[in-house]
Amino acid sequence: MTQPPPADMTLQRSSRDPVEMSAALRSWLADVLPAGADPDVTVHAGVDANGMSSETVLLDVTSTEHGERVTREYVARVAPAAADLPVFPEYRLTDQYDAMRLAGELAGVPVPRVGLNEPTGDVLGTPFFLMERLEGVVPPDVLPYTFGDNWLYDAAPDQQRALQVASVEVLARLHGIPDAAERFAFLDPAVTGHAGATPVERNLSKTRGWYEYALAEGSPRSPLTERALDWLEAHVPATDEAVLVWGDARIGNMMYRDFAPVAVLDWEMATLGPRELDVAWMVFAHRVFEAISGMLELPGMPDFLVEADVVATYRDLTGVELGDLTWYQVLAAVNWNCVFLRTSARQIHFGEIEEPDDPESVFHHRPLLEQLLREVGA
């Protein structure tokens, strides 16, 4: 059985030195900002509460603008160094930058304004971009919001409902962008060599490639993952839909004020494909936290982000009747397997956990995936 997550789930994401990072950014900004800006950079601690992939670094930049010293607050999204065991096979930071910018412009969803983009890796060793720092609260991943003692868990039912509806509306707006296949062609998995006749087939190929990358980087084989992949490949949905898919469509990747989204974050998994990819991911992510809460005999939030409610809200907002989400939830579970294979390798690398005897014990959602596979006869 999958073991409950440790009480301290904080993950080390980087071995970078903040002082060296500040100096490198200061030197870079002195070249790219207008003459006389005389920039100074203060790097604060990274964002550790949520997310497991890119480095997210808070920083202040003080520079001279029109004769006045002005301090602006930024967030830097930085691709991880190879030595820090990246989660993904590749980090296309410029694609993330463009996806965020276009999503804000074309769908009216709240995304931070993006600033300077450094695609070469010459400054920090890997590419990065800057975006504005916004104020708001995020449903915690560490420890999961379903565990209690946090602002979302303690909210009134009508406030939780308002957040749920507003979050589904973000997906509806993103999926409603016209001509997405052309406008976001750079996100098609075919661009990175993933084959398939339809976008959903190419996304499945991308997931298979992610698992194979994990193995190539030293992660152990996972019979459960391979069993699920075999079933997915034998039952690909018959659709050629290609909308903008956020990819990591979790409420933990949104920032809220008054239970309404003010920032849609973390675009590493953005792609083109059927809208069910996002809706199933949102539902499944909550199911994972519910499953962990149940294992620990905690009450959880069983009436929140229920699949039937989410699907009904999506239909009310869009007029679109979604297809069955089972296949997409199995795919989501396999993607989570890949995440946990890589993050556990990172934890072992940084000495945070011992290498487990059962490599699949790091899949905190393992019972949920096993249940899904039983239900489909796989």
Which residue among 141, 248, 266, 278 is the active-site one?
Answer: 248
Cα 108 to Cα 103, 135, 169, 269, distances in angstroms: 7, 18, 11, 20
CA gap 27, 31 in Å, rounded: 7
Cα 169 to Cα 36, 146, 249, 332, distances in angstroms: 44, 22, 12, 20
Amino acid, single-letter form, for residue 297: E
CA gap 179, 102 in Å, rounded: 12
Strand partners, 256: 137, 261
Task: Decide: 175 and 279 in contact? Cβ < 8 Å.
Answer: no
Task: Decide: 138 and 252 in contact? Cβ < 8 Å.
Answer: yes
Q: What tokens were used for 4?
A: 């409950």
The answer to whether residue 248 is catalytic is: yes
Kindly tell me the sign of the dihedral angle through the C-alpha atoms of 54, 74, 104, 170: positive
Residue 97 makes CB contacts below 8 A (sequence gap 6+) with 114, 117, 129
Q: How many helices (H) and strands (E) in the chain?
A: 10, 9
Amino acid, single-letter form, for residue 308: A
H/E element holding 69? strand 68-78
Residue 248 makes CB contacts below 8 A (sequence gap 6+) with 266, 267, 268, 269, 281
Task: Decide: 61 and 97 in contact? Cβ < 8 Å.
Answer: no
H/E element holding 262? strand 260-264
Q: Where are the beta strands (DSSP E) in 119-160?
A: 128-132
Half-sphere exposure of 116 (CA within 13 A, CB side): 14
Residue 26: which of 66, 68, 60, 73 has the closest Cα? 60
Catalytic residues: 248
